[in-house]
């Protein structure tokens, strides 16, 4: 699940039809995973099992995206005053952590295979990988139209394309085993698939951890935000600034503003001007500002934190 930018351009696909397509994509992928794992065990092909796990990761990311989206739509309540938007972020963390563990295990298994090669039934590998490729194409078609409207689904679609490439690699490996009996090709393809899984997971997990650690949005510079606030007429300085992501696409800010001496009468207007600037320049809709008059401002307060 890469970034889910929720641009809601609903053309022809209504959410329910979208949900049912996702559901079908999940069912098909899960079925395929089972077939590939059984095939991998019987044919002795580690590459096929690696491809199956890659497929399973897709199905799981679809399941997680599906339920997390539903949970994330729930309004805020007494228990979750910020709402449920982070369900997707927590789900993504679980997803990527699992993938990293699996990827490392596959690397270990592949290295062991290089040291002690074992027989692989090339024909069985080619046939099952061929079926997998067909299923990947069907899933890609199911999710293609939705992928234009939701980044959540686009990530799943791109996973599918990567899967299809994985299946092609397994077909090539199987063919080379049938023709030349190159047993090393199986662990080599396994390493490629595991490498891709690890690269993708490490690439994505950083952003997820940043949100859960209450990090500032990566595209926003706190220094620029401070400069913009202090440029507003009537603001002496700003301190105790916190900037964080409530969920993937909603950032929030809270800060103490010091109002110029003698301008307390304009405090409301100054506050309004700051809020407007933050919304306009940085897209910060959720801002909490505490006002202090210059005479009674906090002494020696940290600018950030």
Domain ranges for the chain: 15-212, 222-296
Strands 250-259 and 286-293, by their bridges, are parallel
Per the listing, tokens 């199986």 go with: 186
Nearest-angstrom CA–CA distance, 79 and 31: 38
Please check whether residue 253 is in contact with residue 288, taking contact to mean a CB–CB distance below 8 angstroms.
yes
Strands (E), 107-163: none
pLDDT tens per residue across span 278-291: 999 999 989 999 99
**Tokens of residue 64, six digits:** 């997680």
pLDDT tens per residue across span 99-141: 898 889 999 999 999 998 888 888 999 999 998 898 888 878 8
Of all residues in the chain, the percent with pLDDT exceeding 90 is 31
pTM, two decimals, is 0.74
Output the CA–CA distances (angstroms, integers) from residue 186 to 47, 114, 132, in the order listed: 5, 9, 17
pLDDT tens per residue across span 247-305: 777 889 999 999 998 899 999 999 999 999 999 999 998 999 999 988 888 887 888 87
Please check whether residue 48 is in contact with residue 123, taking contact to mean a CB–CB distance below 8 angstroms.
no
Of the ranges 65-74, 91-100, 135-144, 181-190, the best mean pLDDT one = 181-190
**Tokens of residue 253, six digits:** 């800010």
Instruction: Specify the DSSP class assigned to residue 14.
Output: -
Please check whether residue 253 is in contact with residue 284, taking contact to mean a CB–CB distance below 8 angstroms.
yes
**Of 182, 42, 48, residue with least CA distance to 109:** 48
Distance of CA 173 to the CA centre of its chain: 31
- Residue 258 phi/psi, 5-degree rounding, is -100, 120
Hey, how many other C-beta atoms are within 10 angstroms of the C-beta on 200?
A: 21
* 10 pLDDT more than 50: no
- Specify the CATH number for 15-212; select among 3.40.640.10, 1.20.1510.10, 3.40.50.1970, 3.40.47.10: 1.20.1510.10
How sure is the predictor about 6, in pLDDT bands with cuts at 50, 70 and 90? very low
Average the pLDDT over 138-155 and give the result: 73
Task: Count each helix (H run) and each strand (E run) in the chain, helices first.
Answer: 8, 3
Of the ranges 81-95, 149-163, 235-249, the best mean pLDDT one = 235-249
Burial status of residue 219 (CB atoms within 10 A of its CB: 0-12, 13-18, 19 or more): exposed
Nearest-angstrom CA–CA distance, 16 and 19: 5
- 3-state SS of 183-229 is CCHHHHHHHHHHHHHHHHHHHHHHHHHHHHCCCCCCCCCHHHHHHHH
Q: Has domain 222-296 been given CATH number 3.90.1150.50?
A: no
**53 phi-psi bin (left φ>0, alpha ψ -120 to 50, beta other):** alpha
């Amino acid at each position: 699940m890469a970034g889910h930018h929720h641009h809601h351009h609903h053309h022809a696909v209504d959410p329910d039809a979208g949900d049912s397509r996702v559901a079908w994509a999940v069912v098909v992928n899960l079925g395929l995973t089972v077939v590939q794992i059984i095939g991998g065990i019987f044919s002795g092909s580690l590459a096929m099992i690696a491809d199956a796990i890659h497929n399973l990761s897709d199905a799981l990311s679809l399941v997680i995206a599906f339920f997390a989206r539903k949970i994330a739509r729930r309004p805020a309540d007494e228990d979750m005053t910020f709402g449920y938007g982070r369900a997707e972020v927590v789900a993504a963390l679980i997803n990527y952590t699992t993938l990293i563990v699996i990827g490392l295990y596959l690397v270990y298994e592949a290295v062991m295979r290089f040291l002690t090669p074992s027989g692989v039934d090339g024909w069985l590998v080619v046939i099952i990988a061929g079926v997998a490729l067909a299923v990947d194409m069907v899933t890609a078609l199911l999710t293609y139209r939705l992928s234009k409207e939701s980044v959540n689904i686009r990530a799943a679609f791109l996973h599918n394309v990567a899967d299809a490439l994985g299946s092609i690699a397994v077909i090539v490996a199987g063919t080379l085993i049938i023709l030349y009996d190159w047993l090393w090709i199986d662990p080599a393809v396994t390493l490629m698939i595991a490498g891709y899984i690890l690269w993708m997971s490490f690439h994505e997990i950083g952003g997820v951890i940043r949100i859960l650690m209450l990090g500032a949005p990566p595209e926003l510079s706190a220094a620029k935000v401070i400069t913009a606030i202090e440029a507003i007429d009537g603001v002496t300085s700003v301190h105790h600034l916190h900037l964080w992501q409530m969920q993937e696409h909603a950032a929030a800010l809270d800060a103490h503003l010091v109002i110029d001496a003698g301008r307390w009468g304009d405090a409301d207007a100054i506050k309004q001007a700051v809020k407007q600037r933050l919304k306009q320049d940085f897209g910060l809709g959720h801002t909490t500002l505490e006002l202090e008059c210059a005479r009674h401002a906090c002494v020696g307060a940290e600018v950030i934190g």
